[in-house]
Amino acid sequence: MDEIVIGIDLGGTMVRAGAVQRDGQILAMGETTIQASEGPNAGLGRISALINHLVAETGTSLLGIGIGSTGPLDLERGAIQNPYTLPGWEDVPITAHLQGIFNVPVQLENDADAAALGEYWRGAGQNVARLMAVTVGTGIGTSLIQKGQIYRGINNCHPEGGHIILDPSGPLCYCGANGCWEVLAAGPAISEQARQAALRHPESLMLALAHGKIDQIDSLTAASAARQQDPAACEVINRAARYMAQGIVNLINAFAPDTLVLSGGVMKSADLFLPEIRQFVHRNNRMVPADSIQIVLARLGYYAGITGAAYTVYQQQ
């Protein structure tokens, strides 16, 4: 009987799981809503049911469980400490809980780190010595993988390159800083700037694309309109691209990675951002061999977190 590791991608609203073979192939996938309002016990029950279902469906033997979870996490205790995006999930010892039920090794990692490991193992950054992953979605997360190992900060924390300050005169972020990368150029920031631009320019294509409803405009609306050369949308996208480029130039100067992998919802519009990013990197990074650094899109999409979470278990063997 084949052996598999269950990789779990635990987000604020959804939990996705996959049965991952030793070669990184995903044999089967499943998902469920997490329903944080039901409390952590109900959530843990849903996760266990999902694992049982995948093991039964694939007819395999369970070797271990890897979890990439939205944070903050207490990695030493294997616990989730996340009242922010998983309300009620404070001090939830998910590792011990699943170990008790399934009697296999369980690994817990930050979701950005798990996704970066997935891209390192099976995606766009395979076997890269220094892989920097940048996820631009609701927030901006960064992760450094050094020779397959996650870079950890003090107290084993997950560093937050998405909160480096790009413009101290910018708006206030929940991180405490004004004008950090995330508050200037993550999805919600671009969406808000698009709505403001549409208010100032009611003739903008963005409003038409959103059927006249300002509050329906988001970053993807701005991207669509910019592709059709709508001036107001182009301004919004160009502004976001400049911040994206500045953030990436800063990561390159600080880390000089071999490869930089971009992912996340906002990067669905990467065609609009990449030219500016590449030009800015070329112009602004003379001190490190920046033109040798690969800037590429992630390949695994949703599967990155599951794949990388499973990899953390295979790595321990």
Q: How far is the CB of 248 from its own copies (least distance, A)?
A: 10
Question: What is the side-by-side order of every strand in the sheet holding 26-33?
Answer: 26-33, 14-20, 3-10, 61-69, 106-110
Provide the minimum distance between the beta carbon of 180 and its own copies in the complex, in angstroms, as a whole number: 8
* Residues ≥6 apart with Cβ < 8 Å to 192: none
Q: Is 229 in the site for its own copies (CB under 8 A)?
A: no
Binding status of residue 175 toward its own copies by CB under 8 A: yes
Q: Can you tell me which of 165, 214, 220, 297 binds its own copies, judged by CB under 8 A?
A: 165
Q: Is 153 in the site for its own copies (CB under 8 A)?
A: yes
Binding residues among 253-272 for its own copies as defined by CB under 8 A: 253-258
Q: Which residues contact 107 (CB under 8 A, 6 or more apart)?
A: 64, 65, 66, 67, 95, 309, 312, 313, 316
The span of 75-83, 167-175, 221-229, 230-238 binding its own copies (CB under 8 A) equals 167-175
Task: Work out how close the CB of 115 gets to its own copies at its nearest, in angstroms, rounded to a whole number.
Answer: 18
**Closest distance of CB 68 from its own copies, Å:** 18
Site residue total, its own copies (CB under 8 A): 42
Parallel, antiparallel, or unpaired for β 26-33 and 79-82? unpaired
Task: Give the chain's radius of gyration (CA, Å).
Answer: 20
147 binds its own copies (CB under 8 A): no
Q: How far apart are CB 130 and its own copies at their closest, in Å?
A: 7
Report the distance separating Cα 222 and Cα 230, nearest Å.
Answer: 9
Instruction: Please report whether residue 130 would count as binding its own copies according to CB under 8 A.
Output: yes
For its own copies, which is the closer residue by CB, 1 or 168? 168
Q: How far is the C-alpha of 48 from the C-alpha of 128, rounded, in Å?
A: 34
Q: Please, which of residues 89-128 interact with its own copies by CB under 8 A?
A: none
- Nearest distance from residue 257's CB to its own copies, in Å? 7
- Minimum CB–partner distance for residue 291 and its own copies (Å): 10
Q: Tokens at residue 99, please?
A: 């170990």
Long-range CB pairs of 32-36 (<8 Å, 24+ gap) are 34/10, 34/86, 36/12, 36/86, 36/87, 36/88, 36/89
Judge contact between 190 and 235, C-beta under 8 A. no
In the range 288-307, which residues lie near its own copies by CB under 8 A? 288-289, 292-293
Contact call for residue 76 and its own copies (CB under 8 A): no
Stretch that binds its own copies, among 22-30, 31-39, 146-154, 207-215 (CB under 8 A): 146-154
Sign of CA dihedral 245, 248, 253, 258: negative
Sheet holding 73-74: strands in order across? 73-74, 79-82, 89-92
Question: Contact between 174 and its own copies (CB under 8 A)?
Answer: yes
Smallest separation, CB 175 to its own copies (Å): 5
| Residue 203 or 291 having the CB closest to its own copies | 291
The conformational region for residue 221 under phi > 0 = left, psi -120 to 50 = alpha, else beta, is alpha
Q: In 10 A of CB 130, how many CB atoms?
A: 17
**Helix or strand run (H / E) with residue 255:** helix 231-255
What is the contact surface with its own copies in residues (CB under 8 A)?
130, 142, 152-155, 157-161, 163-168, 174-177, 180, 242, 246, 249-251, 253-258, 283-289, 292-293
